[in-house]
Structure 1
Amino acid sequence: MLKNTRNRIIRTLLLIVGGVFCVFIGLLLFRWTDSIAEDKQRKELSKVLHTIAEEQGPEGVLALSGLHVADILSGEDGLILFEENDAIYYSATEKQQMSVYENVNKSVVHITTVGETAVSAFMDVLPAKGTGSGIILSKDGYILTNAHVVEKSASLQVGLYNNQSYAATLVGMDSEDDLAVIKLVSAKDVVLYPASLGTSEDLQIGQRVIAIGNPFGYDRTMSVGVVSGLNRPVRTSEGKVIMNAIQTDAAIHPGNSGGPLLNTRGEVIGINSAIFTTSGSSQGLNFAIPVDTAIAVIPDLIKQGKISRGWLDLAAVQLTPQLVAYAKLPVEKGVLVSEVTSGGFAEKAGIQGGSRKVQYGSSVINLGGDVITAINGETIEDLNDLYLALLPMRSGEKVSVTINRDGNVKKMEVQLIERTAQHVSALVR
């Protein structure tokens, strides 16, 4: 009796387990067949949507879902969609530009300078006023601007977003790169809004940019354009040479100098500095100092008031295919050492200049010298590479210079001298 009861219980349990197993298998088979069907439907839908997208664009695809799109922007942060409604309509581009201005305009200041000039009629000395723009760097009042805005000023006044003007003092200046840092001295109770500094390393021609400044005294004026050129050597009206400049068609006028050039995220990617003009106003060819150049010098300008960059005491010449062929050089890329300073660090390190004088354009150069192909392991293909490789170096430091001499590669440790404006100017022929 007990044995039969036990057997019935075992059979019942086996039936229950078997039933559960069968249900589980059934569910797996159902899910499997269902997923096959879904995958098939998905592929068919994908083909249909692909056809609609080709014929009607993404707006047609979105319209199928009931979402009627007024504008689509493929921007730096992905796709931005704006729906149609009864409210005031702004395009995606407009919304983005308005957002940048709203976030950044309080970080832009209006700089007024007062200098002294002699009036020839009675030799009276009267104040001469200048104007420019600046970028707030910190909440304690440091401001970045152009050196040419402040370098000859006897006093500085800074206009802020609150329509109030405050005194400022010059902290440091880098005339070669046309950069300066000033500091507010009388705005302790004012809330300051530092700008966000981006990078100029990954800029692309055609990328949209925004300039904010104070052209002709009109505070915090915005203009929009694109990056129209990169790595430009530019000689300003003051005779300074800006290397590696960003070229833009964003309108820049007198008074914009020292203001920010921004990307569409509202990050500073350049400091507006110069315009090419035959009329005194913007003609669509404007230039900005890369923000990476400014970031490299700001700490030294604040701490020491100046920057002492390193340079090689030699005269370098850009290689061209014609020069390489004429001089029968062993390399096609690099910079030719025309001459070295007698008794200088480059000569002591063993670098040799040329000895055969030839006419090269409007200049006379020496052929037969070494060709520099690398600095500290960085490949040097042209004068711009030489400039960029030495940009972070300070005078007195040593660099490893790789040269090619008649097909033989040599490395030399060379101490740097202090770079001057004449050294940079010599790079632009």
Structure 2
Amino acid sequence: MTQNEETIKNDGLETEMDPPEKKKGRPKKVNTEDTTESTLPEDENQTDGISEQEEQVEGNQNTETAEDEHIVGLEEDIEDINDSEEDSVEDSAEDSVEDIEDGEINPTVDEIAKAIATIFDKRRVFAANKKEKRKLYGRKEKVVSERGASAKTEKDYLKEEYEILKAAVRSYPKKLILKGVITGVVEDSTTGQMSAQVKADNTRGLFKILIPVQELFPIRLEDYRGERGVEYLKNEMISRINGEIEFTVYDLHEAERYAKGSRVEALAIKTSRYYFNLQNDGKPEMVEGVKALAKVVCVRKDRVKVEVCGAETTIISKELSWLALGVITDEFSINDQFYVRVSNIKEYRYDRLDGAACRLVTISASKRDAEPKPAEQYYDSFELGGYYGGVIKNADDEAGVFVNLQEKMDCLCGYPASGIPSRGKQCIVQITRKEDAKKRLSGNIVSM
């Protein structure tokens, strides 16, 4: 074999074989320093070296600043990408629903629910654009702190509140109910629409959450026509300020820091849970005669309004206690809780502000019927002819003066010879009569 033939054969083998793997490792460092000897004097070379070090330090500082700015820019770009991805998902969901309607795809129930929920979000959540987000939350800046230490800014709280409200709007199919407090009542200067302003729990109230009166409690506006009717309705709403509330959110505008809520929808959800859903025994939890917990949502001079497991009702003074009561606003406060006996449960349909209908119930409730009769417990505690301390609760020109003795029983007394009996005033009573059959006490006010 000649030398040329051997060369050709070797070339052929090299062509057919796989190229050799490159060795892993760091690339060799190339010496880029100028090895040329300097012609400058020794002292001049040293001076140039110090200057080069200063320039290098300053360059590093500028690089760090540029890197920080670059990181902030990347974070903002990521937010923009996320926003665009959300829009893309929403558009995809709309296409999916169109395909479902056209019969092109056969989706599962979960897929249908997800698609509908995404479209619902798009219509009810109005996210801020890039420029508006910067105005709301500002640019992120580098903060120096000790390791593990941190604090929240007003912008952080604002963003957290937006996320809480957004989660409430997007909750589907099980609607999320938020808790909060009614902080005020406002009236739209253009439309005259009255709304309750609400602060959600675990937030600073940086978003303005408004609940229109038609969504605050079931109402027929025709019952409040005229100046007197409007004034009565306004007072009804004002009396609910500082009251605890449960509500849903159905409109959210990030840039305007504004949201709309509905207590009525929350009532409908709770009503379904307690009055309509059947238990293992084939009955709902709330039935005629059941004893249930009530929360006071409104207090007026002669009555209170309570919510009982999603149903709102009025309790007049005589159904609030077996004992005589003074002014109701002195006896009860908003957010008070007590047990009531429920009766007269009736279902009805309520048309909400947006046209959607929901199932609610009307009930009758009595605090008195949920409590034992004081006379049966304490009648024997009072002796005929005995003297006892009490508080004047009420006075009637015909019946006389009602005195609550030791917060146990009422004693009906005549008007004293001197002094004017006023509500809330302490006095001393002598028992002059006991009616065993009816377990009633009568007496005289001997001292005030």
Common fold, TM-score beyond 0.5?
no
Which protein has the bigger helix share?
2
Question: What's the TM-score once normalised by structure 2's chain length?
Answer: 0.23
More strand by share: 1
Structure of higher RCO (CA pairs closer than 8 Å, 6+ residues apart): 1
The normalised TM-score by structure 1 is 0.23
Larger radius of gyration: 2
